[in-house]
A and B are shown apart, each in its own frame.
Chain A
Amino acid sequence: MSPDFAITLVYIGYALAVLLTFGAILTWVERKQAAIMSDRIGANRAYLRIPFTQVKLVWLGLFHGMADGLKLLLKEDFKPVTYDKLGYALGPWLAFTPVVLVFAVIPFGGTLDPGALFPSLADWFDGRTYPMQIAPLDAGLLVVFAFGGIAIIGAMLAGWSSSNKFSMLGALRAGSQLISYELVMGLTVLGLILIYGTVDLDAMVRHQSGTVLGFLPAWGIVYQPLAAILFLTAGIAENKRIPFDLPEAESELISGYFTEYSAMKQGMFMLSEFIEIAIIAALFTTLFLGGYNLPWLTDAGFVFPGGATFELGHGAVVAIQVVTFLAKVFLLCSFQILIRWTLPRFRWDQLLGFAWKFLLPLSIANLVVTAVAVWALT
């Protein structure tokens, strides 16, 4: 096993662990946060009983997610009589896989020097360093959008192959909604690409490591505040959650494009929705909130503006970066949940009008202004 391969395996394991943990934890966070926002207590009854004792672990209702998972796994996997068995079986996977794969290009930490971390392995690694990113691709951002496109196919295929009118309507809505908002998303990040001059996500994050005007962190949101708002809006719409949950609109379409799915297949749609919350948050963090960067933190430690420095070892820096990234992602997830429990759902014509008549012109205006500014400054 070559060192590169070993490091990539470790990264993949880390990414899967983080994503699935986020998927599981967010179901709990969503319940609890919604409850606290509305003066309620929230799910707090499921417990694990330590065998042979009467000690019940409740842990603020953390085990409700586990109970849900068990229930989904043990339920009957009902299959409708459909003309397209393959499409029906493929749907959940096409909705789930691309969401997880997006994380491959997101940098979740700075540069890792395994030789410095584990001196006993220093010979094997031979001084090589690795960016903390599963696939350090030059075309990172393009990969993100390509996978976003595949997720549309998953939703449409699931709806179409269920041979159910509600699913079909949901799929049509999903298709038009996702395509509209994908466009807005693409146009908003074009401004960032102009500023950073790259689509490599790791290079983008490195660009955001300094400060502007001496005190503001040089994060994307400082350069492109409007783009940040538009991106987050489009991201939530991509995720098909309230206020943009028309493809699944329970009050109109039962469950929209996954009406005919049951048991763990339906669970995969739900899980991919929760993981996508984390993915949107991770993308937003990477593009607009400086990724793993903390202000004044460099690879050698903190360097404060006054000239004071605070030396840190390599292990400490790596740990701080990873934790910073996770903390930012978690805060953004919480913000998305706040939005989901605050706003009412759009009407269908309002939804498309919002994308095409409001967000799209704004993002184009943002792009033009950015282009002129970049041209004038260089």
Chain B
Amino acid sequence: MSSRKPYVRKRYWNEPEMGWYERSYFFEIWRGIRITGGVFLANMWKWMTGRKGALTAYYPEEIRADYAAHNRGKHILTQRPDGRPQCVACNMCATVCPAQVIEIDAAFDPDDPEHPKYPSRFEIDYSRCVFCGLCVEACPEDAIRMVKETPDLPGFDRGRMWLKQDELLNWQPKQDVAKPYPAAGAGRTRGAP
């Protein structure tokens, strides 16, 4: 003799009370169809009268206007007052980058003793960047930022996805760095060891 108890379905505390009205399906189905059909007709009317009946944006032709101010969008490199990059090619951003997509070639500029190290090549591979913002956090010079806009991100081939230094500097030029480049002679002196 097996003493298996018949299966009893578990009752939940929030189980809905259904009277004959709900149990007969049709009225509730009719209610649902009225809602979805109403949305359909309203949106269709908008489309037919030349307005946009959807919440979606036609990315990338159309970019939603309500990006938050702190949205992590496309990168920029900030500029010193003379237009050269604020970046000192310290490689911190490239080191912290979890996707390892920042490539920096450092160069030496003997004519600018306050700022002798600068990037001769600064590139980000946007096909692999995850927009985590760690590069911005890591930068000691406020040289790299992410602005809220995201123009021209998609592309059809990987070669085109590399964001070059030129574009980084100039697509939205910013010179309001939080750590201003010291005036000549301030603090350090020319030719110090």
Contacts and interface: CB of A to CB of B under 8 A. Distances in A.
Interface of A: 33, 35-41, 44, 229, 338-339, 341-343, 354, 358
B40 A229 contact: no
Given A342-B32, A343-B29, A343-B32, A39 B37 contact: no
Interface in B4-61: 25-26, 29, 32-33, 35-37, 39-40, 43-44, 47, 53-56, 58
Interface residues of B, number: 18
A152 to B, nearest CB: 25
A338 B40 contact: yes
B43 A342 contact: no
Nearest to A339: B33
Contact of A37 (B26, B29, B40): B40
A342 B36 contact: yes
Given A33-B40, A229-B26, A40 B54 contact: yes
B54 A39 contact: yes
25 contacts: A36-B40, A36-B44, A36-B47, A36-B54, A37-B37, A38-B39, A39-B43, A39-B54, A39-B55, A39-B56, A40-B54, A40-B55, A40-B56, A41-B54, A41-B56, A41-B58, A229-B26, A338-B33, A338-B37, A339-B29, A341-B36, A342-B35, A343-B29, A354-B25, A358-B25
B35 to A, nearest CB: 8
Interface of B: 25-26, 29, 32-33, 35-37, 39-40, 43-44, 47, 53-56, 58
Contacts, number: 45
Nearest to B54: A41
A145 to B, nearest CB: 25
Contacts of A37: 36-37, 39-40, 43
Contacts of B54: 35-36, 39-41
Nearest to B37: A338
Nearest to B32: A342
A-B pairs with lowest CB-CB distance, top 9: A342-B36, A37-B40, A39-B55, A36-B43, A41-B54, A41-B56, A342-B32, A40-B56, A37-B36
A25 B180 CA distance: 62
Contacts of B37: 37, 338, 342
